[in-house]
């Protein structure tokens, strides 16, 4: 009986160590931990699919995360607040785009670096932005045959004659 308890104790310890390693890995590779770094902002008309914690990527590599989203009640533009790693400098002519990882993938912010030698200072803003595209709306238009102006029984905006000719 004593041998059986030893095996169970060892197996339990292994399970606890593996679970702790998994939790450490998950904590260090998600946005739940503080990224530190510096803040940049951007104003966009649409930010569909973005939320606090969304990745900010430069050339496909995660360099930060969205820290806050606020709506300007006068202009109805969304102000994005992003934390960027301290070791990353962004040229001031860079552009920011809301993109997705695929049809079913999540959205993220993609920074396309510019060619300027002047870098955006901490607390600065990226001004060259492109908001999100309503992907499902585009797919719906494609499946529906364009912009919906041509309905069944109509050609070129004119109703078909009753005889079908």
DSSP string, 125-147: B--EEE----HHHHHHHHHHTSS
For residues 30 and 45, give the distance between their C-alpha atoms in angstroms, rounded to a whole number: 27
Alpha carbons 107 and 94: distance in angstroms, whole number: 19
Dist CA 49 CA 86 (whole Å): 26
For residue 94, give the nearest of 64, 61, 127 by alpha carbon.
127
pTM score over 0.85: no
Question: Tens place of pLDDT for every residue, the chain, 165 residues?
Answer: 567 789 889 999 999 999 998 888 877 666 444 557 899 999 999 888 889 999 999 988 999 999 999 999 999 999 999 999 999 999 999 999 988 877 677 889 999 999 999 999 999 999 998 866 666 666 777 787 655 444 444 444 455 555 555
């Amino acid at each position: 009986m004593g041998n059986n308890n030893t095996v169970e104790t060892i197996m339990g310890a292994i399970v606890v160590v593996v679970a702790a390693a998994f939790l450490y890995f998950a904590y260090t590779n998600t946005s739940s931990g503080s990224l530190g770094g510096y803040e940049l902002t951007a104003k966009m008309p649409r930010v569909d699919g973005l939320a606090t914690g969304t990745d900010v990527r430069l050339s496909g590599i995660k360099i930060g995360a969205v820290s806050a989203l606020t709506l300007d009640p006068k202009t109805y533009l969304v102000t994005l607040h992003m934390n960027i790693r301290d070791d990353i400098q962004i040229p001031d002519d860079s552009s920011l785009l809301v993109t997705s990882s695929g049809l079913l993938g999540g959205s993220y912010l993609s920074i396309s670096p510019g060619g300027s030698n002047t870098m955006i200072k901490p607390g600065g803003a990226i001004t060259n932005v492109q908001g999100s595209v309503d992907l499902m709306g585009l797919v719906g238009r494609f499946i529906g045959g364009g912009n919906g102006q041509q309905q069944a029984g109509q050609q070129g905006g004119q109703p078909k004659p009753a005889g079908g000719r």
